[in-house]
Structure 1
Amino acid sequence: MDSELLSRSLMFLLFLLLLLFVLLFSSLDVWYFLRGAQVFVWSCFQPRVKDVLSEQSVDGQVLLHDLDYMGHMNNSRYLRECDFARFHHYMRNGLFMASFRLGAKMVVGASTVRYRRSLAFRETFEIRTRVLGWDQKSFYLEQRFVSKKDNFVSAVMLCRQNVVHCSPEDILQVVGQEKIKSPEFSEDLKHWISFISANSQSLRAESGLKEE
C-alpha cells in the first residue's frame, strides 16, 4: 500500500512539473533569459577590452529555430542576435558594469537594419560590434553580420543606445576613459540621426507636444 501511494505521489509530482514546464515555456521566453545568463557568464571569463572604441566579434550559426517560411534566417532574429552581441560588447569593455554602478540603464532608442544577403540554414557568421560615437544622451553603434564562408557583410545595423539617469560621459568616467573624445560622426550616421530627430519632432507635433 505504501509503495502504491508513493508511486501515485511521484506521478502527481511529475504531472505538476510537466504542467509547470508547459506554463513557463508558453508564457515566458525562457530561452531568451537562459541565453542572456549564458552570455553574462561567458563574458565574465573573457579578457577585458580597455578601449571602448575597439571592435569585438561573436560567432553565430543559423539554426532551425532561426528559420522563416523562406528557409533562411528570420528578420527578427537579426535584432535578437544584436541584443546579445551588444550585451557581450558592454560586458567586456566595462560599459555595462559602469552603468550598473551608476544606477543607469541603456535602452535602445532607435535601430535600423539594412539586409544585403540572407543567411541560410547552418551558415556560420560573425557579429562585429563597435561604438561609432556618442553625444550627451546616447551611444551610437554599428553591428555587422559577416558570413564566414566568404567574408560578405550580409546585414548592417545602426543602433542608438539611450542612457537613462546619467550620460555617456558619466559612464566613460567610471570606466576610466573620460579623456577619450567621441569620433566625428560619418555622413551616413549624421543623416540617420537627423531622420530620428525629424521623426521625433513630427510625432510630438501630432500629439500636441512642444519640440525638444
Structure 2
Amino acid sequence: MTRMLQLAWTGIFPRKRVPGRSLLDPSVYTMRVLPQDLDLLMHVNNGSYLQLMDVARFRHVAEMGGAVLGREKKLGAVVAASTMKYRRSLKLFDKFELTTRVLGWDARCFYMEQVFTRREKLCARGVVATRFLHTHTNDRVAPATVVEALAEAHGPHNPPESPALPDDVAAWSRVIDVAPRDTTARERVDA
C-alpha cells in the first residue's frame, strides 16, 4: 500500500524538471526495501518490482519535463507490456538503485529499461513498452508527437531520432505484438 501512496504522491506532486535532462538520459533513483515489498520468502515480491518501476518511471518522466507537458497537452502514459528478469534477491531494508532509461521508440510505443542494482550488482532488469493516450478521448498519441512536444518544451532543439532498439527488445516487441504491424504482410495473409 505504501508504494501505491508513493506512486500517487509522485503523480500529484511530480518532481521538477532537471535542467539539461533529455529524453535519452538515464535517471537513478535510490530506494530501500520496505516490509510491504516482501513475500513469504522474505525477499521482494515480483509484483512489488512492478510497483517500484512505476514510481521510478513517474519520477523519470517528471525530471525530463514530461509531467508538466502531460498536464498541458492532456497526455497520460499507460503500460502496454512489460517483462522482467530476476538475478539476485533484494531483502528487507536493502538499499538499491533503480536506473530508468528510454531505449527508443517506434510508431506505437516507447521502450524503457529499468535496472535494479545493489552494490553495483544486477538484481533485476525490466523492459516496459509504454503508450501515450489523450486523457479525455483515450486516443493514442504517436511517440513522435510526444518527442516533438518534449523537444519544443526544452527550447529550440530538433527532436532526437530514436536509437536502434536492442535486438532482444525489438524481438520481444514483435512477439508480444506491441511493435508496429506490417499491414502489407497482414493483408497478404488475409487475402
Contact 1:95 1:172 in 2 (8 A): no
For 1:159, which of 105, 128, 147 is the aligned residue? 128
Structure with the largest fraction of strand: 2
Contact 2:56 2:98 in 1 (8 A): yes
Q: In the TM superposition, what is the alpha-carbon distance from 1:38 to its structure 2 partner?
A: 3.6
- TM-score between both structures, scaled by the size of structure 1: 0.72
For 2:170, which of 190, 194, 199 is the aligned residue? 190
- Partner residue in 1 for 2:136: none
Equivalent position SS for 2:173: helix
Contact 2:38 2:45 in 1 (8 A): yes
Instruction: Give the number of equivalent residue pairs.
Output: 170
Contact 2:18 2:64 in 1 (8 A): no
Equivalent position SS for 1:79: helix
Write the distance in 2 (CA, Å) between the matches of 1:37 and 1:61. Answer: 18
Write the distance in 1 (CA, Å) between the matches of 2:158 and 2:71. Answer: 17
The answer for unaligned runs of 5 or more in structure 2 is: 134-138, 152-156, 182-188
Query: How large is the Cα RMSD of the aligned pairs?
Result: 2.4
Q: In the TM superposition, what is the alpha-carbon distance from 1:154 to its structure 2 partner?
A: 0.2
Q: In the TM superposition, what is the alpha-carbon distance from 1:192 to its structure 2 partner?
A: 0.8
Over 3 Å counting, the alpha-carbon distance change for 1:79 and 1:103 in structure 2 is same
Structure with the largest fraction of helix: 1
For 1:66, which of 29, 37, 40 is the aligned residue? 37
Identity between Structure 1 and Structure 2 (%): 30
Over 3 Å counting, the alpha-carbon distance change for 1:118 and 1:83 in structure 2 is same
Write the distance in 1 (CA, Å) between the matches of 2:55 and 2:98. Answer: 10
Q: Over residues 150-208 of structure 1, what are the superposed CA-to-partner deviations in whole Å (9 max), with x where a residue is unaligned? A: 3111000000001223211111222225520000111111111121129xx9xxxxxxx
Write the distance in 1 (CA, Å) between the matches of 2:75 and 2:132. Answer: 7
For 2:159, which of 165, 176, 179 is the aligned residue? 179
Equivalent position SS for 1:43: coil
Q: In the TM superposition, what is the alpha-carbon distance from 1:32 to its structure 2 partner?
A: 4.7
- Partner residue in 1 for 2:15: 43
Equivalent position SS for 2:21: coil
Q: Over residues 86-126 of structure 1, what are the superposed CA-to-partner deviations in whole Å (9 max), with x where a residue is unaligned? A: 00000011223323322222100000010111111111100
- TM-score between both structures, scaled by the size of structure 2: 0.80
Contact 2:81 2:128 in 1 (8 A): yes
Equivalent position SS for 1:174: helix
The answer for unaligned runs of 5 or more in structure 1 is: 1-28, 202-209
Q: In the TM superposition, what is the alpha-carbon distance from 1:49 to its structure 2 partner?
A: 4.5
Equivalent position SS for 1:121: coil
Write the distance in 2 (CA, Å) between the matches of 1:126 and 1:61. Answer: 9
For 1:145, which of 87, 110, 116 is the aligned residue? 116
Equivalent position SS for 1:197: coil
Contact 1:145 1:155 in 2 (8 A): yes
Write the distance in 1 (CA, Å) between the matches of 2:32 and 2:70. Answer: 30
Within a 5 Å distance, the mapping from 1:30-109 to structure 2 comes to 31-32=2-3, 34-40=5-11, 41=13, 43-44=15-16, 47-109=18-80
